[in-house]
Structure 1
Amino acid sequence: MEKNDIILTYGSDPVAMTRALLEAIDIESLIPDKNTSIALKPNLVVAVTADSGATTHPAIVKEILSHLREKGYSRIKIVESAWVGDSTKEGFRVNGYEAISKTFEVPLVDVKDDEYRKLTSNGITMEISKTILDTDFLINLPVLKGHCQTAMTCALKNMKGCLSDRSKRMFHTLGLHKPIAALNAIRCADLVIVDSLNGDLDFEEGGNPVETDRMFATRDSVLCDSFGAQLLGFELEDIPYIQLAEKMGVGSTDLTRARFIQLNEPANNNEARPSGEVAYLAKHTLPKNACSACYGNLIHALKRLDEVDRLGNLETQICIGQGYKGEADPNKIGVGVCTKGLGKSLTGCPPKAIDMIQFIKDL
């Protein structure tokens, strides 16, 4: 498998599709030493199952582990961290990773409990999982889906789960895009296998899955996300971290030089696109460096209110994010502990969506 290859397969059976990709990849050509340490990095941003459109299908993980074991690799770990405010261990539990760990004798590493190393890239110092940094070969297993702050998330942003929670918060303070690129300049995946079976095309935390029935693999995380952006109908300029990562030497955005290897034909050619719902709901917010968990809960709360025609009663925008720390304005309304100095504020880090719904109803 060459660096510029993008291998695609279509269908609805993650086991058969993963097997087809692995056979085409020829993992032994990429990892000739059977003593190589390998880490699988799925997306378990929240503790929900894959049918929600938010998390990596565990069947993909199982098939990769089965394949690696068959080929004689034994030094394998599964490494992940949920977003700030959620439990990685609960994500492992609800998706059956404890049984996967036992069956394949593969340890589960919760990055929240890991040791970290402080490294600096492009002027940004961050705490990165020691397990990830010590891994010889990293297989990134992102879900191609929408994101309420960065429009899209796939390979490059999925690496954010390799950070301490403190660094995740800092990334939001810095606006996400440059830090995501800088992280990948320190450590990016050696192989990316993308779960694009039914990702939520609007929300990172899922809830609105869209069946796109495809998976694809590549060795270049920048090329991967450039292709993912194209699939979702975005221009590269819509997702700044992709081009920033290219400038930092992580990979290439040039899809004209990619070699597309299609293993089978899609059942239909309908192109799924984000609905634009997030942009509509976001008009009711005033975010300043908001963390994903907090902002995601607010968007979710606004969505629920919109479904029962209650947003028309909202006469002011809701402030949210670390940028409001220390601000005291009696005329503003906010959610999250960072907005506690405002006239009305719902505290919590992050507040629950259900509490946000009631808070907004009471305004």
Structure 2
Amino acid sequence: MRENEILHWFGTDPFEAGRELMKASGQWQNWGRDELIGLKPNLVVAKKASSGATTHPAFVAGAISFLQEKGFRRIQILEGSWVGDSTKRAFKVCGYNKLSDKYDVPLIDLQKNSSVVMESTNGEYRICSSVLQLDRLINMPVLKGHCQTSLTCALKNLKGCIPDSEKRRYHRMGLHQPIADLNEIVRADLILVDGLEGDPDYEEGGNPVRMNLFFAGTDPVLIDSYAAGLLGLQPEEVAYIGKAAALGIGSQLSDETKLRYLNKGEAVEGIQRSVAAYRLKEIVREDGACSACYASLMRALSFLEKEDNFPSAPVHIGQGYRGTQVSGVGIGICLKGADSYAKGCPPEAAEIYRFFKDGS
């Protein structure tokens, strides 16, 4: 397939989608049968794919099935869940242990992996060693929203390829530039996107929206600028897309982009992203918050809003407040200097909900 091309497969069968997109991409034709191939799904939390948070195991199984039929035997599945959850638990809950057993493909827990310092245009970053040892990388993200960056798809999915300490640092740096820099260091050979039922609001799922769409490409900037439109966003609303393009990682959607359809299906005219996350963020004062902590806050606030018990005062969250005195309410251990704060690192949504309900 060409760099400016996006393949589409419509339907509700992730296994068939994985096989057909893998086959139609043709990328595998130039790979050596002895090369080490890594598949990187999105298992950010230990939640089933039906929640809208994680990559369907059947989608990954479809790609593996096709590759094995073509004689590829050195295949791995690699992931590092977000800080606050366990990759080992995510593998089990999300159905990847069964997938591993069925296809005899090892699961690599990147949270337990060593790391290597690598150089990018904008500085040094740590990358998990197992990722750097791959000959080929297949990036298999979920098309979904994100409470801080608005979108998470191809570019941001590679954040699972770094150690937890580096994930915290990315948040202190504001996410967008380090995500772009990461993709300068780690390049996927193929991107297969699970758009079956991602959550358009939150990366941790909970409000899945049926799209019945899977798509593929080789350019992560092109994929993400296209994905942004599917969620009703402009690419410029997702800063890391433009930053990645500026680094020469890829090109954004244009009149030159070729959309190729492998089967018949309803055209996706823009699955409009819910405004809930934007509305809830109006009272939040965020400075370097980790995704797990921020998502828990967003979920708790959505519950409180439904009960008409929404807090009126600003809520502070993030590593940038660590060690400082803050007037008002804080979320997480980084805000222990606030007048009152919800404890935890990260605190669960239920804990934050009780914190506000108890009148703090």
Interval of TM-score (by shorter of Structure 1 and Structure 2): over 0.9
In the TM superposition, what whole-angstrom CA distance separates every residue of 1:245-290 from its partner, at most 9, and x where no partner exists? 0111111114322221111222465632111100111112111111
Match of 1:319 in 2: 316
SS at match of 1:83: coil
- Alpha-carbon deviation of 1:71? 0.5
* Cα distance in 2 between the residues matched to 1:124 and 1:90: 33
Task: Tell me, yes or no, if the aligned pair for 1:145 and 1:203 is still in contact at 8 Å.
Answer: yes
Name the amino acid aligned to 2:29: S
Name the amino acid aligned to 1:319: H
Provide the TM-score with structure 2 as the length reference.
0.97
- Alpha-carbon deviation of 1:85? 0.4
SS at match of 1:92: helix
* Cα distance in 1 between the residues matched to 2:24 and 2:136: 18
Match of 1:34 in 2: 33
| 5+ long unaligned stretches in structure 2 | none
* Cα distance in 1 between the residues matched to 2:209 and 2:138: 24
Aligned length: 359
Task: Tell me, yes or no, if the aligned pair for 1:320 and 1:334 is still in contact at 8 Å.
Answer: yes
SS at match of 1:166: helix
Match of 1:5 in 2: 5
- Alpha-carbon deviation of 1:134? 1.1
Summarize the alignment of residues 116-195 of structure 1 with structure 2, pairs less than 5 Å apart.
116-195=115-194
Summarize the alignment of residues 1-363 of structure 1 with structure 2, pairs less than 5 Å apart.
1-31=1-31, 33-267=32-266, 269=268, 271-311=270-310, 314-329=311-326, 331-361=327-357, 362-363=359-360
* Cα distance in 2 between the residues matched to 1:79 and 1:211: 26
Compare 120-129 and 237-246 and name the one that shifted more. 120-129
- Alpha-carbon deviation of 1:107? 0.9
SS at match of 2:207: coil
SS at match of 1:208: coil
- Alpha-carbon deviation of 1:95? 1.7
- Alpha-carbon deviation of 1:19? 2.2
In the TM superposition, what whole-angstrom CA distance separates every residue of 1:142-192 from its partner, at most 9, and x where no partner exists? 001000000100000000000100000000000000000000000121100
- RMSD across aligned positions (CA): 1.2
* Cα distance in 2 between the residues matched to 1:267 and 1:224: 19
Task: Tell me, yes or no, if the aligned pair for 2:46 and 2:89 is still in contact at 8 Å.
Answer: yes
Provide the TM-score with structure 1 as the length reference.
0.96
In the TM superposition, what whole-angstrom CA distance separates every residue of 1:291-322 from its partner, at most 9, and x where no partner exists? 100000000000111121111xx231110001
- Alpha-carbon deviation of 1:27? 4.0
Name the amino acid aligned to 2:315: I
Identity of aligned residues (%): 44
Task: Tell me, yes or no, if the aligned pair for 1:48 and 1:54 is still in contact at 8 Å.
Answer: yes
Task: Tell me, yes or no, if the aligned pair for 1:124 and 1:179 is still in contact at 8 Å.
Answer: no
SS at match of 2:255: helix
| 5+ long unaligned stretches in structure 1 | none
* Cα distance in 2 between the residues matched to 1:28 and 1:201: 31
Task: Tell me, yes or no, if the aligned pair for 2:226 and 2:253 is still in contact at 8 Å.
Answer: no
Over 3 Å counting, the alpha-carbon distance change for 1:204 and 1:269 in structure 2 is closer
